[in-house]
Chain A
Amino acid sequence: MIRLEGITKSFAGKEGAVVALDGIDLTIAKGEIFGIIGSSGAGKSTLVRLINLLERPTGGEVFVAGERVTDAKGERLRDLRRSIGMVFQHFNLLSARTVAGNVAYPLELTGQYGRVEIAERVAALLARVGLSEHAKKYPRQLSGGQKQRVGIARALASEPQVLLCDEATSALDPQTTGAVLDLLRQINRDLGVTIVLITHEMDVIRRTCDRVAVLDRGRVVEEGPVTDVFLHPRHAATLRLVREAEPDGGSLDAVAASDLGGRAVRLTFTGAAAHQPILGRIACENLVDYAILAGRVGHIRETPYAQFTVSLSGRDVAGAIAGLRASGVDVELQAGIPLPQLEERPRHVV
C-alpha cells in the first residue's frame, strides 16, 4: 500500500543541514495497522508527513497504492491527499465551524457533493464515531477525546484508503486513549483502511498494531510483527521504549542474573500457551525448582502473552529446557550463564 525507498530528509539548520531521516526503507501492507515508534526527535513526525507529501523527501521515493508520488503536484497531489486521511495530536479542528461543519469541510473542498449529500454523509460519519448528539457544538465545547473523534470522522470523510495518525492519543488521558485506539481498530476492521500510527508509547503499539518499526535518530533500527519486537527487543532503543511501558520488561540485567545459583532463562508464552500450566508441569517432570525473577503478563492486541525470567535449579535443568521448548515455549538463555551442553536455538519458536 505504501512503500518508502531510500528516504532521506534534511533540513537547513543554523550550522549546515540537519539530517532528520537517513535511508528509510519501509513497506506497509494494505489493511494492516502499522506502528512507527520512536522517542521525540527520532524523526517520526517527519516520516509520516512524507507519505502525504506535507514534507518532500530530500532523496528517495514514495509509492502509494503502487504509484510513484514523490513529486506529485497540483490536482494530482490534492487527489492523493484526499485518499489519505490524517489525524493530529492537537486535533487541528476549525474552531469557527461546528462539529458537523468540520466533518463537512473535506467534502465541501471537492465541490462534488450537494448540500443534502454532504449532510447525509456527515451524519453517518458522526454516528460511526459516536458523536451524533454533538453535531451542532463547537470544538471548544468538547472534551479532548471527543475532539479527536471529530478529527477521525473528518479524516474518514473522503473515504481514504490510508489513515495517518500522528501521535493521535498523546494529548489524551489513559482511559480516553484506550477508547480512541479501540475506535481506530474498529475502523480498520470495518472499512479495511490501512492505518499508520505514530507514537512514542509502546503501550499504544502493543494494543493496536500488527507490525511496528522502531525509529531511532532518523533510522529504522528494528522492524517486524509487534509480538516479536515487543517480546524480544534487540536494539537498545527498542528496549528503552519497552522498559518505559513495563519497567522490568520481563528480563533481568546479566549481572544480577549471574549472581543467582540456578540457570537464568527467559521464557515467553504466547497465545494458548500463556493460559496453560506448562512451567509447573515441566518442573515436576524434571525435578526442577524455579524462582521467578522478573515477569510481565498481558495482551498484544488479542494475543495473550506471559514472559518470565526464571532461575532453574535441580536435577535435569537441560531436560526441563528441552521440555519447555517442546511445549511451544520460547526459551532464551540469559547472558552470563554458561550452559555448554545446550546450543541456543533460533528465537521465535512459537
Chain B
Amino acid sequence: MSFENLYWGDIGAALAQTLAMVGGALLLTVLVGLPLGILLFLTGRQQLFQAPVAYGSLSFVLSIIRSVPFIILLIVLMPVTVLVTGTSLGIRGVIFPLVVGTAPFFARLVETALREVDRGIIEASLAMGASTTQTIFRAVLPEALPSLLAAITVTAIVLVDYTAMSGAIGGGGLGDLAIRYGYHRFQTEIMLVCVAILIVFVQLIQASGNRLVTHFSRK
C-alpha cells in the first residue's frame, strides 16, 4: 500500500460530485418531503384534517418505497429516471432516485416532528382566529423548527450514504471512486482516503446540524 501515487485530481472531482449530489438531492428531498410530511400530519388520527383513507394510502405507498433497499430502487427506477432526466448516469441521473429514496424517509421524520408540537398551541392559534394554513405556517412549523433541522441533518447523512451506493451504477462521486479503484483495482489506499473524507464530511454535517438545532431551540 502506498499513498504516493494517489489521484488527487480524481479525488477532488469525486468530492465535488458527492457535494453536488448531496446538496441537490437534499434540496429536492426537502421540497418534496416537507409537503408530504405536512399532509401525513394533517390527515393523521385526531388531527386538523383527519382522513383515515388518505392517511392510510399515503402511508402505505411511502412505506413500500422505504422497504425497497436503495441499491435495488436505483436499478428498478432506471427507466423512469431516463424518462425524467434523460439519463440514468452521472449526477443528473442519480439525483432523481436519491430523492425518491429519501423523500419518504424525510416525510416520516417531518410527520413525527410536527406531531410533537403541543396540541395546546394549535388550539390556542385556532382560538385566536387563525386559519388552518396560518396555524401551520405561523405556529406549527416554527415550533417544530429545531426538530425539522435535526430531520434535515439525518437525511443529509443518509444521502451521503446513498450517493456512495449510487456509485455502483455509474453515479460518480467518492463512493464510485472507492469502488472502482479501491475494490475493483485493489487500490486500498484510495478506498481508505475516500472513506476518511466521507467520515469528515458526515461529522461536519452532524456538527453543523447540531449547532443549528441548538441555536433555534427555545424550549
Residues of A participating in the B interface, judged by any CB pair closer than 8 Å: 52, 54, 78-82, 84-86, 88, 90, 92-97, 105-106, 108-110, 138-140, 154-155, 158
Contacts and interface: CB of A to CB of B under 8 A. Distances in A.
- Closest A-B pairs by Cβ, 5 of them: A92-B124, A92-B120, A82-B129, A81-B129, A106-B128
Contact of B138 (A86, A95, A109): A109
A109 B128 contact: yes
Nearest to A84: B127
Interface in B117-132: 118, 120-121, 123-131
B184 interface: no
Contact of A92 (B118, B145, B218): B118
Nearest to A86: B127
Contacts of A96: 142-143, 145, 216, 218
Mostly, the B contact residues are helix
A79 B120 contact: no
B213 to A, nearest CB: 13
Contacts of A80: 129
A97 B142 contact: yes
Contacts of B126: 54, 81
B142 A109 contact: no
Contacts of B216: 96
B203 interface: no
A154 B218 contact: no
B96 to A, nearest CB: 34
Which range contains the number of B residues in contact with the other chain?
20 to 34
B130 A109 contact: yes
A79 B129 CA distance: 7
Contacts of A139: 218
B123 A54 contact: yes
Given A79-B129, A82-B129, A155-B128, 10 more contacts: A54-B126, A54-B127, A78-B131, A88-B120, A93-B124, A94-B143, A96-B143, A108-B138, A109-B128, A109-B134
B185 interface: no
Contacts of B139: 94, 105
Contact of B120 (A81, A82, A90): A90
30 contacts: A54-B126, A78-B130, A81-B126, A81-B127, A81-B128, A81-B129, A84-B127, A86-B124, A86-B128, A88-B120, A88-B124, A90-B120, A93-B121, A94-B121, A94-B139, A94-B143, A95-B143, A96-B142, A96-B143, A96-B216, A97-B142, A106-B128, A109-B128, A109-B130, A109-B134, A110-B129, A139-B218, A140-B218, A154-B128, A158-B128
A135 to B, nearest CB: 15
Nearest to A139: B218
Nearest to B126: A54
Question: For A88, A95, A155, which residue has the most chain B Cβ atoms within 10 angstroms?
Answer: A95
B21 to A, nearest CB: 32
